[in-house]
Structure 1
Amino acid sequence: MVVLNKIYTRTGDKGETALSNGERVPKHALRVEAYGTVDELNATLGLAKLHADGEIAARIALIQNDLFDLGADLSRPRMEEDADAPYPVLRIIDAQIDRLEAEIDAMNAQLTPLRSFILPGGSALSAHLHLSRTVARRAERCAVALAGAEDANQAAVKYLNRLSDWLFVAGRIANENGSQDVLWVPGANR
């Protein structure tokens, strides 16, 4: 259980932070950049959820919880040491990815195929979901960079990839099942 009774600790005043295993690293480390960007993504989803209701709001809430799991996953290096941890280690698992894929398939079944790229916008919810999608793509790039340099859970990278797809499709659903999508017109302003 997490207990936060004091918010500032002064331990990061010299540009370092602690990972979940206690190791101290620079705040600009790839691992910190990756889980920090996941945190930013979660915040953008909080804004999107302000415009959502019903099933989409419930799905966003599940994803926000997943993103805390993902942040915990990315903040713990050396997966080979998980069994020796004094607490259960959170890692993204395939079932979380499978859930996203099933939801993408169900939402996509309600949409007509695209014949053009779309511009972010339409409804407020769709615009916020597209903003979240771009942050998810950046989080994925950070996680890929981390995985190329250090030990990282490949399921975490895969989750972020699926999540950006989920956000794209959900953005179309938020635009009245795509009927209010704003289509890109190539060269329209030449």
Structure 2
Amino acid sequence: MNSTTLNIEALIFSSEQSVTIFEIMQVLQAAGEENVTEDSVKEHIESIKQKYDDANFAIALVEINKGYQFLTKKEHYQLVNQLQIQRSKKRLSQSALETLAIIAYKQPITKLEVEQIRGVNCDYSIQKLLEKELITISGKAETIGKPLLYSTSTLFMDYFGISSKSQLPQLKDIAAEQNEIGEKPE
């Protein structure tokens, strides 16, 4: 592997979020590398992907949210999941989860609209979600008072491994049979 490939690998590895080709190009150019093109970066990324496709590595280079990130391979899910359970002290409260779900499915949405859906004040939950960078302020509504609009962040997309709102689970995908009322038709 040449130094450019190693530099790209280091950039992706060191980033907490997915890194886009454009960001990689900017950093390499700022570091003084010459002949950095989109095609050359893609070639280097493909080389890195092939390296980590080997069964001797527990991680893989994955494209998510229009960028690249190192993630643990699926066969190590149970082990990594146990670690996450151990570290779950930083979990979101039930109210923050509810607020996040509403924002994810209805984005962009104002705080008032979230509160109308939940039926309670959401100031604290929205503040915590902003602090954890799971949501962002995406603009202002064109209504009286110009309230702030909230949307999910790229960190949210990275965390859940999705690229767009359309990849969120649909209600029909998660509805359980025990939640049905009445007898089943035969």
What TM-score bracket applies, with the shorter chain setting the length?
Answer: under 0.3
Compare relative contact order (CA 8 Å, sep 6+) and give the higher one, 1 or 2. 1
Structure holding more strand per residue? 2
Larger Rg: 2
